[in-house]
Structure 1
Amino acid sequence: TKQAAHISLQKIGEGSFGKAILVKSREDGKQYVIKEIGISRMSSKERQESRKEVAVLANMSHPNIVQYKESFEECGCLYIVMDYCEGGDLFKTINSQKGVQFPEEQILDWLVQICLALKHVHDRKILHRDIKSQNIFLTKDGTIQLGDFGIARVLNSTVELARTCIGTPYYLSPEICENKPYNNKSDVWALGCVLYEMCTLKHAFEAGNMKNLVLKIIRGSYPPVSIHYSQDLRSLMGQLFRRNPRERPSVSSILDKPFLSHRIFRFLTPEVGYIHTHTHTHKVPGTVSPLTV
């Protein structure tokens, strides 16, 4: 069996999708994460939907997205094999700071990489739908990789109107709280929540119960970010947390902001799908216009 080709090391997570197991491949000796999704109790429609999602995953190849390796079905379960990120997740990295804030440079480098990943996803008309610090991983060399499309859905999918709110409530956007459909700007709100965590080491919206949390989110009230961070960064935060999704910037327009756009070239590899334009006189030398090929 395909499963037997992997030596199980430890269970590393349990999510809305099923469980994640860290394994070692008998083939190449490398470590991978296998996600196990129980499909035996699913309707045939849901099963088809899961297979469709795996096909979407299989086509995702980007330096800032956790790489899919293969998938197979055995004994009523669907297994998805993904690369393992040795650096752990951003949530653990934030907690290990013990209250010591990250330098702005570090935050901006992380933000740009998360945005490059999310742009790749949104350009393909896909919603991630589960952006949170526990789903953003670090490789051994400190590269950011967005992971776990466990409940991503193709944007124009008719099967499911992307309304369900699953998982961690801290990242819920006002529109989801009001039971409106999930859209690409809901991913942008969640990105704002992650950015806030990177700056303050805390959740932007916290409450003792769901009712109060929803109230805070709908009001859009959160403790301000320390003024030792730049005006650019703090003002971006305010834009990501606009209550009306239409007023939030798209991921492309976030990357177009001058204080971020000049950082992009550090994370570009030739195949990412951005091109360098020649520097115009009015631009700061060395900046890159993120033009989609």
Structure 2
Amino acid sequence: MEQVKHGSRRSEGRGNELRKSFGRILSEALKYVQFDARDQWPLDLIASNYARGDVLSSGRYGQVVSARARPITVGFTHVEPRACVIKTCEIGARLDACVRDSRGDKQELTLRLAKLTRRIIIEIYILNRVRHSNIMHAHVTTVDELSVSVHMVLPRFYALDLLINKYRRDKDGEPMPVRIILMIIRQLCRALEYLHASNIVHSDIQPENIYITRGGTVKLGHFACARMLTSEKAALECRTPTGREEFMCFEKQFNLRNAHTLDECMPFTTAADIWSVGVIVLHMVCYFPNEKWHRLPRNFALQMGQQKMPFKWMVSEMVQLRVRLTQSGDEQLKKFLSDKLLNIDPESRATAQQVLDSSLIKKWCFSSLDEDKSYLVRKLIHELDWPNRFKLESDGFNYDACEAKDIPAEFYWDDTWKELEKRKFGFVLAVFDAGVKRDGSNIEQQFSHADISLFEVLLCGVESGELEMFDIFAIDQNIRNLCFTLMRGENCRRNGSHSSSREEITFRLPPSLNCTDRMAHLEVFFV
């Protein structure tokens, strides 16, 4: 008994030490993305800055609460409180679970910590560094070292599932019109096309993670399950069935319900997100999985896969569902689902770009995206919430368009930002742990500011052991700053001044669990 108590105390001691170290590392790593430089909000999440409201959702490892940023008065200018949500991620509780579930196995603990770290960094990077009008962005990201928790202030928009449920109640269960459905799908696929181009799988596409602004812009959020398939090895290891079961494709449902070992699991790709898009269409037509009398089983993806059955055969005897697909406004909707989205073969599913180019999207959506947004405002937002009972902003900065990116403001004055996105850059990076150069850390890579390729090459460096996951934000920020210096120099050269075509810097990296004294030397140049 005494030995058990001693072992328990020792395990608790390891857990407390891990919490302390991890909190310090997290705080150092995330200081580069504390706020959105384009639209700064208060950093301190105290009562004088944010009035917290209702708990919108909660779970074992965090919660989301509604809030309003306090009014700011400057001279005679008064700014109204701004609607937002505060998302808290209890990293400390996840660390405790890692320690507990590893049962004293150091290798197992290392593996679990690596997965947790990767999950944290990918979500925070996308919310703070990926700029696209159809992807959610964070206003503020802070770390509480004591509790080892991450707090993110995010814009407050309409959750798609709430709009769908209200439409269902207000319209007595009638299906949503195909024009509204496809206008939403169009913008969702714009977000997915941008992510999929860099091999990022969202892996939890469902109505609760899709949002719509008062201005009719669709935003994809919640990237806690996102994966980046940076290599063939990473793609083969993408087998964990994350997300809501009813929205999972066949591969994920098979892994969840039928596979008994890891070797039996099927890998999935960006095509898994496309299947989920198809289920969202069904959800807007027949409110699946909430309307049981339409007879579509909750695990219909698994049944289709096991029986090698196309979706159009699956629903051939489901009269009510087929009628609702037609009532929605287009008899081709069933064929669109069967051929493009709800196809058991992931290779045969359409890509996000192919969905955008499809005849059905072109038929029901306006050529101008702004016209789509105006239509959604008139026919969806105003019909369901004309008085704006949540007091959501209708013209928030970077809400309905990317008015600005994470670049110096002066780059917009002379169109330097256009040249920045055209140019290819390269970098050479060396990492030093306690003054000793890390083996294989002479990283030389190329990237562009027009996409997410910088994140992709840095993640490859993590997978090869050249970098730590928590290094990404520090390196990313310093690379960006040197690129901006090079662009300013390029402008000077055009004006006849001498400037360098190569910039370098030495800077401190966040500590790791194995080393506290870490440095990096970086050179950035034009390609």
TM-score range, shorter chain: 0.7 to 0.9
- Tell me the distance in 1 between the aligned counterparts of 2:287 and 2:130: 30
- Tell me the distance in 1 between the aligned counterparts of 2:200 and 2:189: 14
The letter for the 1-side match of 2:65 is: I
The letter for the 2-side match of 1:38 is: E
Partner deviation per Cα, 1:164-201 (whole Å, 9 max, x = no partner): 22342111111112221231001000000001111222
- Tell me the distance in 1 between the aligned counterparts of 2:402 and 2:154: 23
Alignment of 1:162-173 (within 5 A): 162-173=238-249
- Tell me the distance in 2 between the aligned counterparts of 1:252 and 1:64: 14
Shift of the 26–11 alpha-carbon distance from structure 1 to 2, 3 Å rule, reads: same
Q: 1:147 aligns to what?
A: 221
CA apart distance, 1:54: 0.8
- Pick which of 164-173 and 70-79 moved more: 164-173
8 Å CA contact 2:88–2:152 kept in 1: the answer is yes
Report the TM-score when normalising by structure 2: 0.46
Match of 1:122 among 171, 174, 196: 196
- Tell me the distance in 1 between the aligned counterparts of 2:86 and 2:211: 16
The answer to whether 1:236 aligns with 2:336 is yes
Give the SS at the match of 1:31: strand
8 Å CA contact 2:141–2:153 kept in 1: the answer is yes
Match of 1:79 among 151, 154, 161: 151
8 Å CA contact 2:275–2:342 kept in 1: the answer is yes
Shift of the 177–201 alpha-carbon distance from structure 1 to 2, 3 Å rule, reads: closer
- Tell me the distance in 1 between the aligned counterparts of 2:91 and 2:140: 17
Match of 2:282 among 179, 188, 196: 196
CA apart distance, 1:236: 1.4
Shift of the 159–188 alpha-carbon distance from structure 1 to 2, 3 Å rule, reads: closer
Q: Which structure 1 segments of 5+ residues have no match?
A: 273-291
Q: 2:137 aligns to what?
A: 67
Partner deviation per Cα, 1:201-258 (whole Å, 9 max, x = no partner): 22398548x7x88436644534444324324322111121111111111111111113
- Tell me the distance in 2 between the aligned counterparts of 1:258 and 1:76: 50
Match of 1:184 among 262, 270, 276: 270
8 Å CA contact 1:131–1:190 kept in 2: the answer is yes
- Tell me the distance in 2 between the aligned counterparts of 1:205 and 1:134: 23
8 Å CA contact 2:189–2:352 kept in 1: the answer is yes
The answer to whether 1:12 aligns with 2:56 is yes
Give the SS at the match of 2:139: strand
Partner deviation per Cα, 1:55-110 (whole Å, 9 max, x = no partner): 2321222222222222111021011221110xx22222222223122222111211
Partner deviation per Cα, 1:18-56 (whole Å, 9 max, x = no partner): 211112223753121221111124264245321343123
- Tell me the distance in 1 between the aligned counterparts of 2:243 and 2:348: 25
Alignment of 1:134-283 (within 5 A): 134-156=208-230, 158=234, 161-179=237-255, 180-203=266-289, 207=297, 214-215=302-303, 218-219=306-307, 221-222=314-315, 223=318, 224-225=321-322, 226-228=325-327, 229-239=329-339, 240-261=341-362, 263=365, 265-267=367-369
CA apart distance, 1:12: 0.7
Q: 2:87 aligns to what?
A: 35
8 Å CA contact 2:205–2:277 kept in 1: the answer is yes
Percent identity between matched residues is 22
Q: Which structure 2 segments of 5+ residues have no match?
A: 1-42, 73-80, 96-111, 256-265, 371-400, 405-449, 452-527
Q: How many pairs align?
A: 270
Give the SS at the match of 1:227: helix
The letter for the 2-side match of 1:267 is: L
The letter for the 2-side match of 1:242 is: N
Report the TM-score when normalising by structure 1: 0.79
Q: Which has the larger radius of gyration?
A: 2
RMSD: 3.1
Q: 1:280 aligns to what?
A: none
Give the SS at the match of 2:65: strand
Q: 1:2 aligns to what?
A: 44
The letter for the 2-side match of 1:230 is: D
Shift of the 60–130 alpha-carbon distance from structure 1 to 2, 3 Å rule, reads: same
Give the SS at the match of 1:106: helix
CA apart distance, 1:142: 3.0
8 Å CA contact 1:18–1:37 kept in 2: the answer is yes
8 Å CA contact 2:229–2:235 kept in 1: the answer is no
Give the SS at the match of 1:178: helix
- Pick which of 189-198 and 112-121 moved more: 112-121
8 Å CA contact 2:200–2:228 kept in 1: the answer is yes
Q: 2:114 aligns to what?
A: 45
The answer to whether 1:99 aligns with 2:173 is yes
- Tell me the distance in 2 between the aligned counterparts of 1:205 and 1:51: 41
8 Å CA contact 2:253–2:301 kept in 1: the answer is no
